[in-house]
Structure 1
Amino acid sequence: MADSVFIEGLVVETVVGVYDWEREVTQSLVIDLEMAWDNRVPGHSDDVADALDYATVSGRVETCLKALRPKLLERGAEVLAGILQQEFGVTWLRLTIRKPGAVPGAKAVGVHIERGAR
């Protein structure tokens, strides 16, 4: 199966970073997420109950990262991947977390992970 559901450019405002000043402000993280999902059933039924609801997933991503307040993007990515796999039954995902403006001269820095079997 090569079907997937994706969320691209989801902006989450949260506390993130290792420096003291970063622990006192919120910063933007930009999330790109692709998740394996069999889209045949919702494709036939036209019922959101059969789909991987990207609005619900987006809300969970935001809730997770705001509560976690990770020091490292790597921590945010690992925790988020585990939650998405466990709570939504996603067998495979590709996740990118970008931190715009973190390094002068770079548009963004970040991490990219893949977890599970496609």
Structure 2
Amino acid sequence: MDTVFIEGLAVDATIGVFDWERRIKQRLLIDLEMAWDIKAAAKSDRLEHTLDYKAVSDRVAELVASSQYELIESLAEEIAAMLRNEFSINWLRLRLSKPGAVVAAKNVGLLIERGQRGDV
């Protein structure tokens, strides 16, 4: 099983439960690992045979930037569902970080896995 990854995708979004958070954009960081069999792409050297990480990045950024969730948990579930549905990803690990949310912490967030990791 192979893994395509995107690390540190930064997107500004409206996210949070407090009134002041609903009036501003906050920077979110997204790390993704996605199961994908790269053999066909390696053999053909053609973009259409692989998981296009640019297309994935653009779609995730579009979804996050237009979202209005209060909780990062809800946003993480929407991102995971969209990726699995639109890109036919069997397994993914998503780390969604909200740096600055806790002043005394370098970073806070969550890590979720969805799907089956096995052979793709």
Note whether the superposition's TM-score is higher than 0.5: yes
CA root-mean-square deviation? 0.6
Name the TM-score, length of structure 2 as normaliser. Answer: 0.95
Secondary structure (helix, strand or coil) at the match of 2:98 reads strand
Deviation at 1:10, TM superposition (A): 0.4
Q: Distance in 2 between matches of 1:45 and 1:110?
A: 38
Give the SS at the match of 1:69: coil
Say which SS state the counterpart of residue 108 (structure 1) adopts. Answer: coil
Report the number of matched residues: 117
Unaligned runs of 5+ in 1: none
Cα distance in structure 1, aligned partners of 2:61 and 2:70 = 16
Structure-2 residue corresponding to 1:5: 4
SS at match of 2:69: coil
Instruction: Indicate the SS of the match to 1:8.
Output: strand
Alignment partners' CA distance in 2, 1:40 and 1:23:
45
Structure 2 unaligned regions, length at least 5: none
**Separation in 2, partners of 1:56, 1:94:** 17
Q: In 2, distance between residues paired with 1:56 and 1:100? A: 25
Indicate the residue corresponding to 2:15 in structure 1.
Answer: 16
Matched, 1:33 2:32: yes
Q: CA deviation at 1:69?
A: 2.0
**TM-score, normalisation: structure 1:** 0.97
Runs of 4+ residues deviating >6 angstroms = none
